[in-house]
Structure 1
Amino acid sequence: MITMKDIIKEGHPTLRMVAKELTLPISDEEKQLGKDMLQFLKNSQDTEIAEEYSLRAGVGLAAPQLDISKRMIAVHIPGVEETDEPIISTVMINPKIVSHSVQSACLTEGEGCLSVDREVPGYVPRHSRITLTYYDLEGNSHKMRLKNYQAIVIQHEIDHINGIMFYDHINKEHPFKIDDAVKVIS
């Protein structure tokens, strides 16, 4: 079971590396890694399990955050109500953004990261809509269109496999200054 002690923190060199593409079909170890990453996210969102194991809640996790420089991310975005099916719950192998909107969006409260143990204030502008391709754990190819929050989460995780941290996008001089065209999502 993945816990917070398995997640490397900012300053670790792996977080700044461009991760390697996985060769398909992926190995049994890589499949298990993907399943474990997704389970961590589910556990981190379960109040009892999170408290028992001191897990910080997360909606996304990239293999480089576990000091594994491979292009694999897991995303688990819960439904609006507790009884709803998750909006997205999957492991993505070699995810790639193939197109994106001109319009940008950012989250009102900024972004956080399991690899960053401090508050980093500021807007993180990202594309408001993306189309991405990826492979699942069984090697099936997928194409997905996402917008707003879901698109932001995926871009955050894809940044991890490209050696980019969310705060790299924040305006250093004026953290809360954004272009008028940027949509702020609450």
Structure 2
Amino acid sequence: MKVTQTLLGFFVLLFVLGCSSDLDFDQVNDLELQPVVVANVASFDAAANQFVNNGIEQTVAIATPEVGVFNDSFLRDNVSKAELFFEVNNTINRAFTLQMVFLDVNNAPLTTIQMDIPAYAGTPNLTPFTKTFQGTDLILLKQTKRIAFIVALLPGPPLTSTSVGNLKLRSSVTAYFDIK
């Protein structure tokens, strides 16, 4: 019992006489947060026969719903950089050109990104692409309300209404924030 009281007395003395420093509550004014947010942007899955109309090959335009990533003023005001990631999986034995047209609220083009998609040759055919938006490019991205996808066939074996395969796209945005 005497040992317990001695230890208890020692710990009480340690806490009473322990080191402490003054708290500086003004440090909260220097707080800077830099969160990173990842969100899906758009996706599509176009079958090979969608590129044929009445036996004639055609370019396909794929409209997407509104891109609402920057609708919120907090997000628009605090984003410092954004990276758009696109990945296309082509299982059609034909090469394509994919244009991504960024449209404003009036459907006027702001900027365009183009990707060349190689033809499927029996092995996995994933085509990744990343575009970083900073400065002027970021201002344009913040004004984007829709992204139109225009898929054009490149020369190759003819497609028919019974052609097999798909052209699949998935995309995401990684937004970097600087909150002071």
Give the TM-score category using the shorter length: under 0.3
Relative to the length of structure 2, the TM-score reads: 0.21
Tell which has more relative contact order, 1 or 2 (C-alpha 8 A, sep 6+).
2
Greater helix share, structure number: 1
